[in-house]
């Protein structure tokens, strides 16, 4: 199955990318996948262009010992779709046995509304400066600095300067009690453009640091009257 999936993925990456300004390139790239005597463009009329990517194996329907249909997902612009690829296996090699078929994707699942939790504003205010310091140290990856914000015996790996904290946008603490709490923090990371430009140009957005808003779920523990981070992971949606 792994070999069939890899073969179909590679074929889809060639089949769904074409450009009328260089049709021969597609002919050459298709040859390793097609049976002898197949039409060299395998159904494309030589006009227009298409660019697709993000190819992933999604399923296989085995018809018999030699024949199967592999389904591959792809992304083309704003459109996500499926490509059904018929293949034949002779015991050692694969070949595309028939023209493939484009299929529509069902789209994203409907997400039911969930009520926002009642918030503990006093604890949110108390936690905010501590979490701001934590996320700055988390971005820098400075283990000495991180120890000021994490619970005793806890080690948290950081980003080693790949990110910087632009903003701690929100801290959500549901109403509750106890010295250990589960909280959500929404941060905005500044991500370097990697352009190598010493001074980003204000007239060129591509040279400016990107801002990426992300959410984290943290377990925090109160020790000696101060909150410390015990664990950090990606946030999950409230269940309700």
Both tokens of residue 41? 């463009």
Could you tell me if residue 58 is inside a domain?
yes
Pairing of strands 18-19, 49-50: antiparallel
CATH number at residue 13: 3.10.450.540
Please indicate, yes or no, whether residues 21 and 69 belong to a single structural domain of this protein. Answer: yes
Residue carrying structure tokens 């996320």:
135
Pairing of strands 180-191, 101-104: unpaired
Q: Is the pLDDT of residue 146 over 60?
A: yes
Query: Rounded to an integer, what distance in angstroms lies between the CA atom of residue 16 and that of residue 12?
Result: 6
Boundary (domain end) residue, out of 58, 78, 104: 104
Both tokens of residue 66? 């030699």
Q: Which residues pair with 79 in a beta bridge?
A: 76
Could you tell me if residue 40 is inside a domain?
yes
Cα-Cα-Cα-Cα torsion 17, 19, 23, 24, nearest 10 degrees, comes to -60
SS3 category, 9: helix
Q: What is the pLDDT of residues 109-136, one digit of tens each?
A: 888 888 888 899 999 999 999 999 999 9
Overall pTM surpassing 0.75 (yes/no)? no
Angstrom CA distances, 60 to 30, 71, 88, 174, 189, stand at 21, 6, 13, 45, 40
Residue 194: which pLDDT band, with cuts at 50, 70 and 90?
low
Q: What is the pLDDT of residues 61-99, one digit of tens each?
A: 999 999 999 999 999 988 999 999 999 999 999 999 999
Q: Kindly state the DSSP code that residue 181 receives in the 8-state scheme.
A: E
Please indicate, yes or no, whether residues 131 and 222 belong to a single structural domain of this protein. Answer: yes
Q: What is the pLDDT of residues 158-174, one digit of tens each?
A: 999 889 999 999 999 99
* The predicted structure's pLDDT at residue 199: 58
Could you tell me if residue 47 is inside a domain?
yes
User: How many domains in the chain?
Assistant: 2
* The predicted structure's pLDDT at residue 192: 74
Residue carrying structure tokens 């390139």:
25
- What mean pLDDT, rounded, does the chain reach? 90
Q: Which domain holds residue 152?
A: 121-234
Q: Is the pLDDT of residue 205 over 80?
A: no
């Amino acid at each position: 199955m792994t070999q069939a999936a890899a073969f179909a993925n590679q074929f889809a990456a060639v089949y769904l990318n074409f450009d009328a300004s260089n049709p021969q390139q597609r002919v050459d790239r298709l040859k390793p996948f097609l049976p002898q005597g197949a039409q060299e463009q395998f159904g494309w009329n030589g006009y227009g262009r298409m660019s697709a990517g993000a190819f992933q194996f999604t399923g296989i329907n085995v018809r018999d010992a030699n024949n199967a249909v592999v389904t591959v997902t792809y992304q083309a612009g704003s459109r996500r779709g499926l490509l059904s690829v018929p293949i034949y296996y002779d015991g050692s090699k694969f070949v595309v046995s028939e023209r493939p078929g484009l299929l529509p994707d069902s789209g994203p699942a409907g997400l039911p509304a969930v009520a926002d939790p009642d918030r503990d504003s006093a604890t949110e205010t108390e936690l905010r400066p501590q979490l701001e310091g934590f996320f700055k140290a988390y971005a820098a990856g400075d283990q000495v600095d991180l120890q000021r914000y994490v619970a005793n015996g806890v080690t948290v790996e950081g980003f080693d300067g790949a990110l910087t904290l632009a903003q701690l946008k929100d801290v959500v603490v549901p109403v509750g009690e106890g010295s250990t709490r589960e909280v959500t923090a929404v941060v905005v990371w500044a991500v370097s453009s990697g352009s190598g430009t010493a001074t980003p140009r204000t007239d060129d957005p591509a040279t400016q640091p990107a801002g990426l808003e992300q959410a984290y779920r943290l377990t925090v523990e109160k020790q000696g009257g101060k909150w410390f981070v015990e664990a950090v992971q990606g946030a999950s949606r409230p269940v309700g």
